[in-house]
Structure formats: C-alpha cells, structure tokens
Amino acid sequence: MSIKHTSSLRAVLHALVKNAPSSLDPRTIADMLDKPYGTLMNELNANTGHKLGADLVLPLIKITGGADEAMRFMARELGGLFYRLPDSMPGSGGLMEALADLISDCSELFSEAAQDIAKGDINHAVIESVSQKADNASESILRLKAQIRAAHEGKYGPPSKHHD
C-alpha cells in the first residue's frame, strides 16, 4: 500500500482503515476497537470536528497492519527515516542488533555532517564530532561483519579455501 504524501496522521490512518494491508474491512476494524463504525470514521475524518484519541493510534496501526506506512509518515514529518529490521532468526546471534546499531550510527553521522556542511562553518569542534561519529559507524560496520561471519560459521563451520 502506498500512502500519498499528506501532512495529517489522521489522513494516513483513514487510508489504512479504508484499505488495510491486513485485508480487514473498516466495519471489522471498528468492531475490534469496540467503536461504532460511524464514530470511528468520524474520528478519522478531519472535516467532522470529532477528535481522534491518541490512545487509538497504536491499536489502529496494529489492526490494519499499516505499521510501515504510519511509521514512515511520522518519521518523515519529524525529519527522520524509518527502517524495518528483519525479525531475528534463530542462530543469528546479535546480527539484528548489530544492524540496528549500524543504521543508527550512520544516520547520526550523515545527519550531523549534512547540517554542518549546510551551515558552512566547519571548525575544529565540528571536525572532531563528525570524526567521532565516523569512528562509531566504522566500529558498527566491523561488528556487523563479525556477526555475519559468526552466523555463517554457526551454520556452515569455519570458512574453507573453497567458496560456499
């Protein structure tokens, strides 16, 4: 499902209820939330004057199966990005954690570097800060490589001279 760019979380949730990735119809979703269908639709429609309660947002996202769309919208509106990490697999050790660390460290590095470049004032403190974030990202890359190697060796044993 693709949500057209909008500046309203309410509009995103309305689209998710009308076309739920979970394939549930709007009336079923309303029933699952213990809300009358008309009330739910009024709360999702910005033109009715009804208020959408904050406590309804997460259950709506979960029931509709629209977590990715809603999270991407919220992250974009807050100047960020949303990445879904794969579910951890048995035997993967800390692979998902290493991947999450790498994404976080690279995001911090790229964000700070872009802001500093845009300001045009690259002083010694900026260089040190960006260098530290680059070192953190490099360490995260090495941890991810080690986790990938460990996951491989856990399944296939130590590498041999022959390719897998």
What pLDDT was estimated at residue 13? 93
Question: pLDDT-based confidence at 49, cuts 50/70/90?
Answer: confident
Question: pLDDT-based confidence at 57, cuts 50/70/90?
Answer: very high
Residue 119: pLDDT over 90:
no
What pLDDT was estimated at residue 93? 59
Residue 148: pLDDT over 80:
yes
Residue 95: pLDDT over 70:
yes
Residue 160: pLDDT over 90:
no
User: Which of 22-36, 129-143, 150-164 comes out lowest in average pLDDT?
Assistant: 150-164
DSSP secondary structure string for all residues of 18-48? HT-TT---HHHHHHHTT--HHHHHHHH-TTS
Which region, left, alpha or beta, applies to residue 130 given φ > 0 means left and ψ of -120 to 50 means alpha?
alpha
**pTM for this model (two decimals):** 0.60
User: What's the average model confidence in pLDDT over 69-82?
Assistant: 85
Q: Which residue has the higher pLDDT, 18 or 2?
A: 18
Cite the DSSP H helix spans in the chain.
Answer: 9-18, 26-32, 37-44, 54-64, 67-77, 95-119, 124-156
User: What's the average model confidence in pLDDT over 39-49?
Assistant: 88
What pLDDT was estimated at residue 102? 84
Half-sphere exposure of 40 toward its Cβ, with a 13 Å CA cutoff? 24
Nearest to 10 by CA among 50, 65, 38: 50
User: What's the average model confidence in pLDDT over 2-31?
Assistant: 85
